[in-house]
């Protein structure tokens, strides 16, 4: 019963924020969060379903469950370029979650299901801030469900593939520079859609203690066909800005991950990951208003993201059968070019430092905790199409908790 | 579980701290902003929406500049304030400001447009205190050196310290350390606003002498400053809102009867369904009786043209009562030759000011190129605000089509600040354009 309540809570708080580059989240297992977000070569629990389906068949237990939630506290300060203006991102809590279950059907064949939130962005700069004609607040989230099958050959090579079904919702508000007796014009866009992709991986276990993982998660096109665009404008210009359906397209970029981990001894494991994100797939954010007027049509917000490689490093140490500790670090370079830095996703090059802890009250069951501190670098940038320039300085504080049970 | 919650909560507490970026550090550079004065015409007086009223003055370009200069040692900026938000009745017949509202035209069509508000205006009176803003609606360059100008221009008389002196003699009384000047526009604009018919463009020699005297008087006080040149006034909404071919004929039967009438009058004009050029007066026409012609591209109809006469009485085509050709009167039209005169004079005046500014190390705000940019396809974008020269929707020009909105003034103030910073190595922050309004819809 308690577990059910916990899961329900997860769904209630399903709101994400981007940490690091763009709008990819990266928090998919509290255990892995504790060690620099590595995971492509790990097979400790059902989180392999997401990190590398090829590793699922290497999970030792018949059943494995893992679920958790991260609390993202984003702190971003903005200083306008050549202006006496400074503001902060509003404080809000964003809560990506995950839930995984795997079942070993035969010695070599496993199946599993993953439900998590690999992409999302939630932020609010307030209704009256200087950049309100670009964005006031934004909530974008993608929840993915991934049924997965995995098979291993002679405990050396595992392969796996999962079909990814994604449900995405977007809700954004921005002001329009139209003054009237009732205040300022306003646009709300709200809608949701589903998209499909796949996740395929290989896990190689050449010698005892060494694991090599390669995983590819495909691009998912989130094409919201029938979002609602609601304009709050004076009656005099209503015919120019009718409420209408709007098509919004946003790609969820593909990822190619390479991971390597090695058990130095019974207690100590170290691992590295190289994650290549195909951010170039995000060229522009397109809004296609279905009712067209002289003031309303197809608008493309250029994004021009660049592909990026994220190196990650992590280690775990089993102090005793009941306590395991973890450490990690990674570098997440921003995919956003400096002349397209938009307050919708204020992204900078970031260094992540992580620590984690698992407590096993009894065999197979663990309470996992982790903390990720993400240091953004101070970054000057302009969103050129709107001539909006300034300095962004960010930090993220992310505690995470989770439960894992294998038997 | 409780322990974990405790850990998470305590982490949440220590993480409430924000990232620190140092605030903008304003700096005066080599300039001294202690006593700032503004010199010029209605564009700096805070005149907007066809009136000089309280809020217009609050959002005047120099008042916005002064607000920024105060971050780098600038002092108080006193303007000859009007208390009424409708206007000041400096002489009989002055009307209160324009607002955007619904009107019914002669055809019974309800439309959105500028209309005069009704409300109590300030009576004419001298404010009785010394001011920093010498912005005088209607002032041309040579007016500032004319003794007794206060007797000719009641806007100046509102704050003049002498009825017999000249404006240039006032500068010394306030001991300015810094000035901005936007003068000379009326030397071409007054002619253009009269449709080239009853005012005249200032003689370039007089312009040179007047500017030299005004600038000389300012520099003689020891003040430093910047001055703006004259933009191409034919790109402001007052001239561009009604196109030369704004005569729209919707029915073929109407087109046929117009063409028939023109052929009867032996006028070589051909009309089509859709847009057609308006008819204007042409004294050089070879026609023995009807001295008229169609407008050509590059000619302008003034916003003050009586629109009901055009819509219901046939002005610009054929008089509905007499069926005779009915040209738009000359005072509502800028013809090709008048436009050429305006452009030629603007170029001469700008060359004079350019030389004068560089000779005296006065910063030059190139308002001419800024207005060109504002008038281009992409307009000017500032912090997500897209501004252009379109009437009402462009955001920059107020309802009179000549003077700026608060938002337009904020942008203009930034053009000045840009040059101040370049010329004096100062660091004056830009005005936050997003804080100021454009045209307000009902």
Closest CB from A75, A178, A386 relative to B381? A386
Query: Is A79 at the interface with chain B, CB within 8 A?
Result: yes
Closest CB from A79, A177, A391 relative to B395? A177
Determine, for residues A88 and B18 on separate chains, whether the beta-carbon distance falls below 8 Å.
yes
Instruction: Give the A window 154-213 contacts with B, CB below 8 Å.
Output: 177-181
Residue B27: list chain A partners with CB under 8 A. none
- Rounded to the nearest angstrom, the minimum Cα separation between B311 and chain A is 22
Instruction: Give the A window 318-357 contacts with B, CB below 8 Å.
Output: none
What confidence score (pLDDT) does residue A229 get? 96
Please give the backbone phi and psi of residue B382, each rounded to the nearest 5 degrees, phi first. Answer: -140, 115
Of all helices (H) and strands (E), which one includes residue A361?
Answer: strand A350-362
Instruction: Measure CA of the first residue to CA of the last residue in chain B; give whole Å.
Output: 58
C-alpha torsion angle, residues B334, B336, B341, B345 (rounded to 10): 80
Pairing of strands B88-89, B122-123: parallel
What confidence score (pLDDT) does residue A8 get? 39
Query: Is B378 at the interface with chain A, CB within 8 A?
Result: no
Please give the backbone phi and psi of residue B145, each rounded to the nearest 5 degrees, phi first. Answer: -105, 5
Q: pLDDT tens, A94-147?
A: 899 999 999 999 999 999 999 999 998 899 999 999 999 999 999 988 999 999
List, by residue range, all CATH 3.40.50.1110 domains of chain B. Answer: 36-238+336-435
From the centroid of its chain, how far is CA A18?
Answer: 6
3-state secondary structure of B192: helix
Determine, for residues B441 and A180 on separate chains, whether the beta-carbon distance falls below 8 Å.
yes
CB B337 within 8 A of CB B283: no
Determine, for residues B440 and A179 on separate chains, whether the beta-carbon distance falls below 8 Å.
yes
Query: Is B100 at the interface with chain A, CB within 8 A?
Result: yes
> Taking the CB of residue B266, how many other CB atoms lie within 10 A of it?
10
What are the tokens at A406?
Answer: 């294998």
For tokens 């002679």, what's the residue? Answer: A154
What confidence score (pLDDT) does residue A94 get? 87
What are the tokens at B435?
Answer: 């804080």
Does the pLDDT value for residue B152 go beyond 60? yes
For chain A, domain boundaries:
2-406
Does the pLDDT value for residue A370 go beyond 50? yes
Does the pLDDT value for residue A17 go beyond 70? no
Query: Is B4 at the interface with chain A, CB within 8 A?
Result: yes
Residue A84: list chain B partners with CB under 8 A. 23-24, 26, 68, 71, 429, 432
Q: How confident is the model at residue A24 (pLDDT cuts 50, 70, 90)?
A: confident
Q: pLDDT tens, A373-407?
A: 999 889 999 999 999 999 999 999 999 999 999 99
Query: Is B7 at the interface with chain A, CB within 8 A?
Result: yes
Of all helices (H) and strands (E), which one includes residue A179?
Answer: strand A157-180
Kindly identify which residue of chain A lies nearest to residue B437, measuring between CA atoms: A179
Determine, for residues A399 and B11 on separate chains, whether the beta-carbon distance falls below 8 Å.
yes
Q: What is the architecture, at CATH level 2, of domain A2-406?
A: Beta Barrel (2.40)
Q: pLDDT tens, B70-128?
A: 999 999 999 999 999 999 999 988 999 999 999 888 888 898 999 999 999 999 999 99
Question: Distance between CA atoms of A42 and A32, rounded to whole angstroms?
Answer: 9
Count helices and strands in chain B by DSSP H and E runs: 14, 22
Determine, for residues B438 and A79 on separate chains, whether the beta-carbon distance falls below 8 Å.
no
Q: pLDDT tens, B165-199?
A: 999 999 988 999 999 999 999 999 999 998 888 88
Instruction: Give the B window 398-417 contacts with A, CB below 8 Å.
Output: 407
Mean pLDDT of chain B: 94
Pairing of strands B36-40, B178-182: parallel
Determine, for residues B384 and A386 on separate chains, whether the beta-carbon distance falls below 8 Å.
yes
Does the pLDDT value for residue B19 go beyond 90? no
Question: Distance between CA atoms of B208 and A233, rounded to whole angstroms?
Answer: 49
Closest CB from A237, A378, A399 relative to B8? A399
Determine, for residues B19 and A237 on separate chains, whether the beta-carbon distance falls below 8 Å.
no
Determine, for residues A394 and B23 on separate chains, whether the beta-carbon distance falls below 8 Å.
no
What confidence score (pLDDT) does residue A6 get? 41
Determine, for residues B26 and A181 on separate chains, whether the beta-carbon distance falls below 8 Å.
no
CB B57 within 8 A of CB B38: no
> What's the Cα-to-Cα distance from A279 to each of A134, A167, B404, rounded to whole Å?
22, 20, 44
Query: Is A384 at the interface with chain B, CB within 8 A?
Result: no
CB A310 within 8 A of CB A332: yes
Cβ neighbours for A18, distance < 8 A, ≥ 6 positions apart: A24, A25, A120, A121, A345, A347
C-alpha torsion angle, residues B393, B395, B400, B405 (rounded to 10): 160
Closest CB from A84, A91, A378 relative to B24? A84
Percent of chain A with pLDDT over 70: 95
What confidence score (pLDDT) does residue A3 get? 43
- Rounded to the nearest angstrom, the minimum Cα separation between B39 and chain A is 26
Q: How confident is the model at residue A93 (pLDDT cuts 50, 70, 90)?
A: confident
- Rounded to the nearest angstrom, the minimum Cα separation between B216 and chain A is 32
What confidence score (pLDDT) does residue B6 get? 60
Task: Please give the DSSP secondary-structure letter assigned to residue B344.
Answer: H
Kindly identify which residue of chain A lies nearest to residue B380, measuring between CA atoms: A387
Pairing of strands B51-52, B110-116: unpaired
Residue B20: list chain A partners with CB under 8 A. 77, 393
- Rounded to the nearest angstrom, the minimum Cα separation between B429 and chain A is 5
Percent of chain B with pLDDT over 90: 88
The partner residues of B39 in beta bridges, in order of sequence, read B134, B181
Determine, for residues B432 and A181 on separate chains, whether the beta-carbon distance falls below 8 Å.
no
Kindly identify which residue of chain A lies nearest to residue B393, measuring between CA atoms: A178
Closest among B90, B424, B420 to B228, alpha carbons compared: B420
Evaluate whether ipTM surpasses 0.85: yes
CATH topology of domain B36-238+336-435: Rossmann fold (3.40.50)
Q: pLDDT tens, B298-308?
A: 999 999 999 88
Query: Is B439 at the interface with chain A, CB within 8 A?
Result: yes
Query: Is B71 at the interface with chain A, CB within 8 A?
Result: yes
- Rounded to the nearest angstrom, the minimum Cα separation between B125 and chain A is 32
Query: Is B20 at the interface with chain A, CB within 8 A?
Result: yes
From the centroid of its chain, how far is CA B430?
Answer: 21
Q: pLDDT tens, A180-225?
A: 988 999 999 999 999 999 999 999 999 999 999 999 999 999 999 9
Tell me what the mean pLDDT of segment B55-65 comes to. Answer: 98
Does the pLDDT value for residue B354 go beyond 70? yes
Question: Distance between CA atoms of A118 and A96, rounded to whole angstroms?
Answer: 8
> Crossing angle for the helix pair B406-424 and B367-374, nearest 10 degrees?
140
The partner residues of A24 in beta bridges, in order of sequence, read A119
Cβ neighbours for B37, distance < 8 A, ≥ 6 positions apart: B132, B133, B134, B171, B174, B176, B178, B179, B223
Closest CB from A177, A385, A391 relative to B21? A391
Determine, for residues A84 and B12 on separate chains, whether the beta-carbon distance falls below 8 Å.
no
What confidence score (pLDDT) does residue A11 get? 40
Question: Distance between CA atoms of A20 and A332, rounded to whole angstroms?
Answer: 6
Residue B439: list chain A partners with CB under 8 A. 179
């Amino acid at each position: 019963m308690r577990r059910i309540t916990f899961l329900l809570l997860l769904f209630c708080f399903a709101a994400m924020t981007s940490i690091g580059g763009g709008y990819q989240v990266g928090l998919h297992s509290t255990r892995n969060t504790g060690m620099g977000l590595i995971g492509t070569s790990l097979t400790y629990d059902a989180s392999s379903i997401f990190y590398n389906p090829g590793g699922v068949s290497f999970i030792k237990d018949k059943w494995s469950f893992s679920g958790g939630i991260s609390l993202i506290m984003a702190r971003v300060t903005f200083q306008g370029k050549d202006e006496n203006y400074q503001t902060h991102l509003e404080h809000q809590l964003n809560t990506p979650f995950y839930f995984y279950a795997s079942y070993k059907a035969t010695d070599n064949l496993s199946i599993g299901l993953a439900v998590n939130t690999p992409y999302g962005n939630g932020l609010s700069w307030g209704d009256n801030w200087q950049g309100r004609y670009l964005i006031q607040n934004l909530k974008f989230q993608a929840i993915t469900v991934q049924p997965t099958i995995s098979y291993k050959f002679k405990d050396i090579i595992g392969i796996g593939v999962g079909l990814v079904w994604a449900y995405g919702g977007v809700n954004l508000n921005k002001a329009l520079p139209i003054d009237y007796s009732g205040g300022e014009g306003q646009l709300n866009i709200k809608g949701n859609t589903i998209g499909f992709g796949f996740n395929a991986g290989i896990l190689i276990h050449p010698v005892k203690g060494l694991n090599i993982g390669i995983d590819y998660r495909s691009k998912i096109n989130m094409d919201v066909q029938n979002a609602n665009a609601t304009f709050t404008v004076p009656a005099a210009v209503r015919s120019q800005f009718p409420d209408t359906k709007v098509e919004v397209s946003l790609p969820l970029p593909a990822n190619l991950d390479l991971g390597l981990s090695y058990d130095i001894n019974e207690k100590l494991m170290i691992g590295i990951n190289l994650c290549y994100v195909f951010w170039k797939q995000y060229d522009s954010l397109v809004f296609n208003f279905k009712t067209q007027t002289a003031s309303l049509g197809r608008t493309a917000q250029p994004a021009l993201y660049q592909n990026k490689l994220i190196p990650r490093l992590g280690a775990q140490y089993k102090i005793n059968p009941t306590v395991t500790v973890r450490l990690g670090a990674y570098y997440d370079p921003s995919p956003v070019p400096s002349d397209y830095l938009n307050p919708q996703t204020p992204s900078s090059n970031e260094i992540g430092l992580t620590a984690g802890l698992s407590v096993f009250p009894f065999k197979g069951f663990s309470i996992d905790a982790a903390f990720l501190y993400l240091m953004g670098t101070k970054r000057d940038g302009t969103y050129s199409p709107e001539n909006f320039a300034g300095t962004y300085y960010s930090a993220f504080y992310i505690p995470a908790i989770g439960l894992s049970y294998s038997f | 579980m409780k322990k974990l919650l405790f850990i998470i909560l305590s982490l949440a507490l220590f993480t409430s701290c924000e990232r620190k970026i140092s605030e903008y550090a304003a700096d005066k550079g080599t300039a001294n902003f202690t006593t700032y004065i503004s010199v010029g015409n209605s564009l700096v007086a805070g005149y907007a929406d066809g009136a000089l009223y309280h809020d217009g003055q609050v959002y005047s370009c120099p008042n916005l500049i002064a607000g920024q200069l105060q971050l780098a040692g600038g002092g108080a900026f006193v303007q000859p304030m009007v208390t009424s938000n409708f206007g000041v009745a400096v002489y009989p017949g002055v009307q209160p400001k324009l607002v955007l509202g619904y009107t019914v035209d002669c055809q019974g069509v309800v439309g959105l447009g500028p209309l005069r508000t009704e409300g109590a205006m300030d009576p004419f009176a001298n404010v009785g205190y010394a001011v920093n803003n010498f912005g005088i609606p209607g002032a041309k360059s040579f007016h500032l050196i004319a003794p007794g100008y206060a007797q000719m221009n009641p806007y100046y008389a509102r704050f003049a310290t002498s009825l017999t002196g000249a404006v240039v003699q006032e500068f010394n009384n306030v001991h300015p350390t810094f000035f901005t000047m936007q003068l000379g526009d009326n030397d071409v604009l007054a002619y253009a606003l009269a449709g080239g018919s009853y005012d005249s463009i200032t003689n370039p020699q007089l312009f040179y002498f007047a500017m030299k005297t005004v600038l000389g008087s300012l520099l003689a006080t020891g003040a430093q400053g910047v001055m703006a040149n004259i933009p191409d006034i034919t790109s402001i909404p007052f001239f561009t809102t009604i196109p030369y071919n704004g005569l729209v004929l919707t029915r073929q039967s109407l087109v046929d009867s117009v063409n028939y009438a023109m052929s009867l009058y032996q006028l070589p004009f051909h009309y089509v369904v859709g847009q057609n050029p308006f008819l204007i007066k042409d004294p050089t026409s070879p026609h023995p009786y009807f001295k008229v012609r169609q407008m050509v591209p590059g000619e302008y109809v003034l916003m003050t043209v009586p629109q009901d006469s055009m819509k219901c009485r046939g002005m610009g085509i054929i008089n509905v009562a007499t069926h005779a050709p009915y040209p738009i009167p000359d005072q509502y039209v800028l013809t090709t030759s008048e436009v050429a005169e305006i452009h030629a004079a603007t170029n001469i005046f700008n060359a004079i000011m350019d030389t004068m500014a560089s000779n005296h190390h006065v910063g030059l705000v190139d308002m001419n190129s800024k207005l060109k940019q504002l008038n281009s396809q992409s307009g000017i974008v500032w912090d997500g605000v897209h501004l252009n020269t379109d009437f009402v929707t462009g955001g920059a020009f107020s309802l009179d089509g000549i003077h700026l909105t608060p938002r337009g003034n904020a942008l203009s103030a930034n053009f000045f600040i840009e040059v101040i910073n370049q010329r004096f190595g100062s660091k004056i922050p830009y005005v936050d354009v997003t804080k100021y309004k454009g045209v307000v819809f009902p």
